[in-house]
Structure 1
Amino acid sequence: MSSSASGRTRHRRTRSEQCRLHEQAVHLLLRMFDEGGYEAISMRKLASEIGVPPMSLYRYFPSKKHLIQHIWVELLLRAYQHALARAHECSSPPERLGAYLDGYLQYWLDNRHHYWVVFSIRDGSVDPAEPGDGAPCPNPYRFLETLAEMIGACAGTGTDAGTEVRHLAEALFCKTLGFLTGVISMASLMSADIEGLKHRLVREMVDQAITGGGPDAASAASPVSEAMDGR
């Protein structure tokens, strides 16, 4: 009796084994996404790749949206690193800010399916307009933190971002989303001069950062933006 019961006893993974399985699942998940896109992702396929029953994965990922959040983190990191690399090529604070914003926008323009996965795909049972529902959501905190620091450097307030600087960083981030949604999703803009639109938006955002977004922001032109116009 005891032998039979012992034979039916399942191995309980240690905490370190659970961590390794979780890391393996995330690694395979990102590989599946890179190779086949969002459509290639399924709990059953991932479990098969790892070699565990599908139900075992639900302990680590209660739903598909909990899988997707790891893709969000990875893609936001890629966009951030691309933007940061562009900024490091420049010297003055306004130039770095312009390159940072341009690099961020260009990443999503070059990887449009990534943009939709991060900013459009949600759990169908959750209303994205309802705040505080506890559902996983993308968090571009790295991009926003660095953006606020760069705005502070342009405005001469240093890297210690106060409330006004953080609000301006969030407002500029919203502008990037509006631009990307417009040029990626609206058929009427598919034939537009997207590079020209991006250039103008970046120039306006840099000017806004320098002036602090005040009432004179629209009319005040910085030397950097004038130089950008002449490129």
Structure 2
Amino acid sequence: MKKNAMEEEGGQGRPPLTELELQQGREQILAVARSLFHRHGYDAVSIRRIMRETSRSPMMFYRYFPSKRAVIRYLWADILDAFYTYCEEGAARMSTPRFGLEMYLRRSIQYWLDHPSDFKVLYLNPDALESESNETEPEYFADQPGAYDRTEYLANLVRETAAAERLEIMDIELAVQQLIVQILGLSFSIIMIPELPWRDAGTHIDETIRSMFVTLGLPYPTSDHQ
């Protein structure tokens, strides 16, 4: 049976971490890991290296997280929470579902262009199935409750916009997936291939959103808004 971190540290049991100590330790580890994963990629970064940069011993890691995979999944959750919040707040300020949908889509691209390191941490480090105990079946991050549940907000915007225009979109799930493909496709191209002579990002965002509305069969908003 695997020894726990307290035993590995020198045979003497350590007192459990307080909630504050646990929170502070996790935040420090996550901050270091976020930087390392961005610069070097998940596979190239070891637990030992993460802990060295936090001035803690490697075995102390297991007092805060069960595995390295758990660290990047914490980061993914934080990144997605910030992304969804930014998109939803912008959409909520609009006067109609159609303007709300347009703003959500605009912000969903702009956010990644403004946070390229977060985009890379989230989308350039593939997930993998790793069992953390003998009692639970491994699952992908995307399958965990709450991981991508907030895409339902976008689905509702599509439904409400279609209803307001007296139109019907037969397959909302496919429609939302197509929107996400275009969001990520443009974001990836500009972030990951900057050496190509792209037109300015604003032009590409405008044209991509127009294309999205055409794909959905919805009229494009004509009023300018921030």
Query: What TM-score comes out, normalization by structure 2 length?
Result: 0.69
Give the residue type in structure 2 aligned to 1:11: R
Alpha-carbon distance in structure 2 between the residues aligned to 1:92 and 1:49: 49
Q: Cα distance, 1:204 vs. partner?
A: 2.5
Give the match's secondary structure for 1:11: coil
Q: Contact 1:94 / 1:206 at 8 angstroms: preserved in 2?
A: no
Alignment check: 8 A CA contact 1:28 1:46 kept: no
Instruction: Confirm or deny that 1:73 pairs with 2:74.
Output: no
Percent identity, please. Answer: 22
Larger helix share, 1 or 2:
1
Alignment pair present for 1:108 and 2:108: no
Deviation at 1:182, TM superposition (A): 1.7
Residue type at the aligned position of 2:25: A
Partner of 2:156: 149
Which amino acid is the alignment partner of residue 119 of structure 1?
Answer: Y
What's the offset of the Cα at 1:89?
A: 2.5
Report the equivalent of 1:202.
209
Summarize the Cα distance change of 1:140–1:227 in structure 2 as closer, same or farther, 3 Å threshold. Answer: farther
Q: Which residue is 1:222 aligned to? A: 219
Residue 179 of structure 1 corresponds to 186
Query: For structure 1, which runs of at least 5 residues remain unmatched after alignment?
Result: 1-6, 127-131
Task: Name the structure, 1 or 2, with higher relative contact order (CA <8 Å, separation 6+).
Answer: 2
Structure-2 separation of matches of 1:117 and 1:183: 16
Matching residue of 1:11: 14
- The 1:82–1:125 alpha-carbon spacing in structure 2 relative to 1, beyond 3 Å, is closer
The count of corresponding residues between Structure 1 and Structure 2 is: 201
Q: Which amino acid aligns with 1:170?
A: Q
The match for 1:4 is none
Contact 2:34 2:75 (C-alpha < 8 Å) held by counterparts: no
Q: Give me the whole-angstrom Cα distance separating, in 1, the residues matched to 2:56 and 2:34.
A: 22
Give the conservation status (yes or no) of the 8 Å contact 2:29–2:51: no
> Could you say which residue in structure 2 is the equivalent of 1:26?
26
Q: Distance in 1 between matches of 2:129 and 2:92?
A: 42
Retained in 2: the 8 A contact 1:182–1:189? no
User: 1:88 is matched with which residue?
Assistant: 92
User: CA 1:39/1:189 → structure 2, altered by over 3 Å: closer, same or farther?
Assistant: closer
Does the 8 A contact of 2:87 with 2:103 survive in 1? yes
The C-alpha deviation readout for 1:34-91, integer Å capped at 9, x for no partner, is 7777349763465468775422323653443321111111111111111122212211
**What TM-score comes out, normalization by structure 1 length?**
0.68
Per the TM alignment, residue 173 of structure 1 is displaced from its structure 2 partner at its CA by: 0.9
Equivalences for 1:117-196 in 2 at 5 Å?
117-122=121-126, 134=139, 136=141, 141-156=148-163, 164-187=171-194, 189-196=196-203
- Out of 97, 103, 110, the position equivalent to 2:101 is 97
CA distance 1:62–1:34, shift in 2 (3 Å): closer
The letter for the 2-side match of 1:76 is L
Distance 2:147 2:180 in 1: 10
**Structure 1: how far apart are the matches of 2:162 and 2:109?**
22
Residue 184 of structure 1: how far off its partner (Å)? 1.7
> C-alpha distance in 2, partners of 1:111/1:100?
16
- Mapped contact 2:79–2:118 kept (Cα < 8 A): yes
Distance in 1 (alpha carbons) for counterparts of 2:95 and 2:83:
21
